[in-house]
Structure 1
Amino acid sequence: MNDLNTSFLKTNTLPDVQSNQDSRALPIERVGIRGIKQPVLMRSSNGSFSTVASFEMDVALPADKKGTHMSRFVSLLEQDRKEIDSASVATMAKEMLPLLQAKQGRIQMRYTHFVKKIAPVSAVQSWMDYQVTYLAEAKQGVDEHIEVDLYLQAVVPVMSLCPCSKEISDYGAHNQRSHITMLVKLDSDAQLTVEELVRIAESEASSELWAILKRPDEKWVTEHAYENPKFVEDLVRDVACRLKNDQRILSLMIEAENFESIHNHSAFARISLP
């Protein structure tokens, strides 16, 4: 019987092509991996839950380097992290730079955030889902201290009822499902939860949504929305007013899109504040 040849396990015998010099004198702004999915345990203000996150990770590559070490991005994701939150994403971005021997880089994590909600009348419980993105941009300073800019985006589905339709109609008013997108730049030391953003968006809409509603709940939602009409312009202004004075938020962008029920197009509005 032949002995097993284990030479392939000795990586120091193989050439490291990525570390070679490049003579084209062209730096690369971003190089990395995109679309890698990982199961994660997310920490939230209402406890932890399991979900699946899609990651995009990249670094800046100097002009004299031929390539980056793609497998090290995956190795960073594979490290055992019991729970993930905004601080975890910022920490990963800081760890990525020395691991990839880079001066700057980005980690973007998109996932479905779940919140257990209670219907307004029947009190039946159900899970609502929200699309959430964390973005951490890391940069090494002259003293090798790594600074991280952290962004949080949440897309919150709500209900909006048209004030104009209510005013001119003898019978009811048209309403539609809307998406409120909030993108905020956070103070890296501040704790702003996804649940806080969700509650602000939902409270400024004509009505929030639930996954399960019984007939008494449906009556409540319909009447509540009718008493609280909102244009798409009202949605972005009201949410921006709630967020603009929050000291934990350094800048913000609010966008609302109404998926019109009486038109074959959407209406939208956007506000950005430094």
Structure 2
Amino acid sequence: MPALRDVHSEGDSRRLALDRAGVKGLRYPICVLDRARGVQHTVAEIEMSVSVPHKRKGAHMSRFVELLNRHRREIDIRKFRGLCAELRRDHDADAAHVQVRFPYFIEKKAPVTGAVGLLDYFCTFGASVTRDDYDLWVALEVPVTTLCPCSKAISAHGAHNQRSLVAVRVWFEKFFWIEDLIALVEESASCDLYALLKRPDEKYVTERAWERPRFVEDLVREVGTRLRRDPNFTRWEVEAESFESIHAHSAYAALKHP
């Protein structure tokens, strides 16, 4: 068979380098580390890109999927930098970027009865690699309960509470378990969520939230305080949104360090 023309490798006369070119919205089955079971199978939405010099028309799109297929059974924080570096080499690019977002399930026991249910948390691994530097981070979305301190203080018969969503992104020095970061966030809230609760459990979570009221600002500061105590996290960002039960809008707060 005669050689086929490779248009992507041909020159471009406009002399404009591209910061990123690649694929996004790619859904793929992957395996991630699970502290309880060793490995967890899930489905990720993936974004992969590389820089393109001004003299080259574009990126080789098939190489993104080829790389993913080679590594889909070992999507691991410890290997993620290497995966991104391999992507850069495959394209002979100055920079490469990878983001993998997936639901991560944890088996949680109800606090009193021990009834078991699965709760999902969205997790994202992100990496950027250049010829002489790299950036590696992990992000989590953790749903929790918050109870309003003001409502508690002024009401004789209860306080409004709501589900809130905490988004945390961390940069780190060494490996850590996703479960530990989830626990850090949940411990900062009025109460954490459960997939399954019986009546004794419902009583417990109601009273626990009552004893630990949090404004959305409190929630972000509590998470930040716990992150600040851990020297493994060199940089972090925290956002929280409370889906207010007495308003049609949300309450919001954010914090980052440094």
Normalising by the smaller structure, the TM-score range is over 0.9
Q: Which of 186, 199, 211 is equivalent to 1:227?
A: 211
- Size of the alignment, in residue pairs? 257
- For residue 102 of structure 2, what is the aligned residue in structure 1? 111
User: Quick check: 1:151 aligned with 2:141?
Assistant: no
* CA shift digits 1:38-85 (9 cap, x unpaired): 111111222221110011000010111111101000000111553322
Counterpart position of 2:165? 179
Give the structure 1 partner of residue 51 of structure 2. Answer: 60
Aligned to 1:257: 241
Which residue number in structure 2 is paired with residue 144 of structure 1? none
* Residue in 1 that maps onto 2:26: 36
2:240 equivalent to 1:273 = no
Structure 2 residue aligned with 1:45: 35
> TM-score by structure 2 length?
0.97
Question: Which residue matches 1:4?
Answer: none
Q: Distance in 2 between matches of 1:267 and 1:273?
A: 21
Taking the aligned partners of 2:29 and 2:205, their CA distance within structure 1 comes to 35
Question: Paired residue for 2:111?
Answer: 120
Q: Give the aligned partner of residue 3 of structure 1.
A: none
Identity of aligned pairs, percent?
A: 43
Structure 1 segments unaligned to the other structure (5+ residues): 1-6, 142-146
Residue by residue over 1:150-206, the C-alpha shift from the partner in whole angstroms, topping out at 9 and shown as x without a partner, is 11110100000000000100101100000111011222xx01221111001101100
Task: Find the aligned partners of 1:91 and 1:212 in 2 and give their Cα distance.
Answer: 39
Q: Distance in 1 between matches of 2:23 and 2:10?
A: 20
CA RMSD of aligned residues (A): 1.1
- The answer on whether the counterparts of 1:55 and 1:110 sit within 8 Å (CA) in structure 2 is yes
Q: Which has the larger radius of gyration?
A: 1
Alignment of 1:212 with 2:203, yes or no, is no
Give the conservation status (yes or no) of the 8 Å contact 1:44–1:85: no
In structure 1, give the amino acid aligned to 2:164: S
Which residue is equivalent to 2:179? 195
3-state secondary structure, aligned to 1:226: helix
Does the 8 Å CA contact 1:149/1:186 hold for their aligned counterparts? no
In terms of mean alpha carbon deviation, does 84-93 or 163-172 score higher? 84-93
Q: Contact (CA 8 Å) 1:236, 1:254: kept in 2 or not?
A: yes
Of the candidates 68, 74, 90, which is equivalent to residue 83 of structure 1? Answer: 74
Structure 2 residues not aligned, in runs of 5+: none
